[in-house]
Amino acid sequence: MINWLVRMNDALSNLAIWASGLLLLYVVGHVSVEIVARSFFDFSTHSMDEFVGYAVGAMTFLSLANTFRARKHIRVSILQAFVRGRLAIVVEILCIVLTFAITAFLARYIFRTFARDWNRGTVSPTLTETPIWIIDGVILLGLILFLLQLLTSLVLTIRDGVTEPAPTEA
């Protein structure tokens, strides 16, 4: 059961990180088109800043789970340097549970915003009139994947203890 959870979580977070990578390629492409269009053709897409902003936000939230799983996030490990054994496991579990609670609280409000924007058909107040529920949905998806990763990490910490942090690059 645990191995299935880990495999499913890894597959979903890898899919999300690939989506983030594709969004990064989109950002580079859209900015490049905008630069060429403005510089040489006196033309603009009139949507670059809006869509690039949406893409950066989406990349941020979609990459949370994978970044946490790979232990590449910013982590303050001062307390962990002083504890070992069972106490280290308790501290790790406490950190995961608190992070889960804060993220779940945030996800609850994002879901409420998503539902409201879906029901009202809210669109951005821009030329493109982008449906806001799309942005809300991507943020919510990223938070759900992060919550799933936190749950998986909690189960693995209980089963295996605290894993050593990944070596830092100089």
**What amino acid occupies position 104?**
A
User: Kind and range of the H or E element at 16?
Assistant: helix 2-40
Output the pTM of the full model.
Answer: 0.86
pLDDT one-digit tens code per residue, 71-107: 777 766 676 677 777 888 888 889 899 999 999 999 9
How would residue 162 be classed by pLDDT, with cut points 50, 70 and 90?
Answer: confident
Residue identified by tokens 């962990």 is: 80
Sorted by where each begins, the domain ranges of the chain are: 2-160
Q: Which spans in the chain are helix H?
A: 2-40, 48-62, 64-69, 85-120, 132-160
More confident residue, 82 or 51: 51
